[in-house]
Amino acid sequence: MLLLLQAAVPAAEAAVKGDIGKLQSFLQQLIDWGVNAGGNIIGAILIFIIGRFLISLIKKMTSKLLARRRVDPGIQSFVKSLVNILLTILLIIAVIGKLGVETTSFAALLASAGVAIGMALSGNLQNFAGGLIILLFRPYKVGDWIESQGVSGTVREIQIFHTILTTADNKVIYIPNGALSSGTVTNYSREDTRRVDWIIGVEYGENYDKVEETVRRIIAEDKRILTEPTAPFVALNALDASSVNVVIRAWVKSGDYWDVYFDMNKTIYSVFNKEGIGFPFPQLTVHQAKR
């Protein structure tokens, strides 16, 4: 029995020493991994910080270059947005590669995921293609007043996926480029001149020749009204239920459109009252039958 105990003690000591050796080896491997992982993490953080700085620097250089070459503001906003997205994707790939992830496998995974994401985000791909079409055919540019998709406003930016409008009451509207490139867009700023139309009602019994002469005198006194491409037009438009309607058509510069429109309304009202030309109001004549 004693001999068995004496033989078992060295075996147990050897087993304990083996376990301690394994534990030390594991701890050493863990320390080595931690050192390597810490170095990779610190390197990834440095790459991210430096990358963000470089992206910001490249964006500024791109903006200055486009401005120096006097590129259209719509193209400028589109290019800057595209450059920012592409450089950010490259930075993410670099950071992941520094962390030890195989970039080739990551690229393959990204490509396969891109197919699935592309199918899910087909609308955004259409918007991207729509943005390219807008920049190519230029139905509008930054600063134009347009109307589309039931809204209107001044074009502030043309981004990769959206066009940003600012309305007259200072609301910001994002319209998908896909809808703008395939839908109807009314551009009020494209041409230098626009035609202003008025329908003015006067009472039955008024002398039409006097009304027309008064209107033409008012038009002649407003220097903002143009004689090209056609001279101002005045005519009797309709014999309405309670009024004789006179139509007025005149050409003005696009920037003067609303000023001329509202000023002419005010002037016509004032001058007609001075000239004794009456404005109509709804009225009903009742005839009583005699018994």
Looking at residue 74, what is its pLDDT?
Answer: 67
Asked if residues 231 and 281 have their Cβ atoms less than 8 Å apart, the reply is: no
Task: Please give the span between the terminal C-alpha atoms of the chain, in angstroms, as a whole number.
Answer: 149
Task: Kindly report the CATH class assigned to 133-187.
Answer: mainly beta
Enter the pTM of the model: 0.58
Burial class (CB in 10 A: 0-12, 13-18, 19+), 181: buried
Strand order through the sheet with 233-239: 193-202, 244-253, 233-239
Please classify residue 156 by burial: count the beta carbons closer than 10 Å to its beta carbon, then call 0-12 exposed, 13-18 middle and 19+ buried: middle
Same CATH fold assignment for domains 21-115 and 133-187 = no
- Class at the top of the CATH hierarchy for domain 21-115: mainly alpha
Q: Given this model, what pLDDT does residue 201 score?
A: 92
Report, as an integer, the average pLDDT of 186-199.
92
Q: Which CATH architecture has domain 193-275?
A: 2-Layer Sandwich (3.30)
So where are the chain's domains? 21-115, 133-187, 193-275
Q: How far apart are CA 213 and CA 227, in angstroms?
A: 17
Instruction: DSSP letter for 170, please.
Output: S
Res 236: pLDDT: 93
**Range with the poorest average pLDDT among 136-150, 229-243, 246-260, 274-288:** 274-288
pLDDT in tens, 11-28: 555 555 556 666 666 566
